[in-house]
Amino acid sequence: MLTVQAIAASIGSGEMRWEGEFRGDGLLLRLGAPLQPLEAVPAEVDLADQASIDALYQSPIRDWQTFTLEPARLVLCQASEPLRLGPRLCGIIGTLSHLTRVGLMTHLSSLLVLPGWDGYVTLELFNAGPSPLRLRCGMPVARLAILPMDGPVRDIALAHPFYGHSALLGSKYADEFSR
């Protein structure tokens, strides 16, 4: 894991872009906009059918101040600051432990931010606790540790078909894998 001094050097050299805050030896991720709730649909979601996946998502809320996240509910939220990682850097997202202890999870399983990322990270906010949680736009929720890649890396332009598309918060699984 890179130290805050090594991260600052990467920013200074242009290998990385980050205009937000640091927390320890990582980047502090805050809630931004848009925020996009998921809703239950009456039919089974077919993961090979993009329209079936898209039916899960309510319209994005672009101008929000507070949002109540009910227990066992998931909402997607863009981080407040953009991030650019060079081809030799990756990141790992971890929820702030204070929030985990009340049931908030910021990433269910997609912890890795791949090399070459350029845009806003989408956070997957899940309430695993017994009570509704009030979210506030701008609140700090997670930390991103930066790790160096060891060895050759593939062409970052080909790494992910949705890089740089900050309007896409929801899953594009079928679009990517059902071709």
CATH number at residue 10: 2.70.40.10
pTM over 0.85: yes
On whether residue 169 sits in a domain, the answer given is no
**Residues contacting residue 10 through CB under 8 Å, at least 6 positions apart:** 2, 16, 86, 89, 146
- Catalytic residue numbers read 124
Q: What is the pLDDT of residues 55-72, one digit of tens each?
A: 999 999 999 999 999 999
On whether residue 177 sits in a domain, the answer given is no
> What is the number of structural domains in the chain?
1
On whether residue 122 sits in a domain, the answer given is yes
On whether residue 164 sits in a domain, the answer given is no
Q: Which among 76, 67, 79 has a CA at the least distance from the CA of 29?
A: 79
Q: What is the pLDDT of residues 15-57, one digit of tens each?
A: 999 999 999 999 999 999 999 999 988 889 999 999 999 999 9
Q: Report how far residue 156's alpha carbon sits from residue 114's, in angstroms, rounded to the nearest whole number.
A: 9
Q: How many CA atoms lie within 13 A of 158 on its CB side?
A: 3
At 141, list the tokens: 């929720």
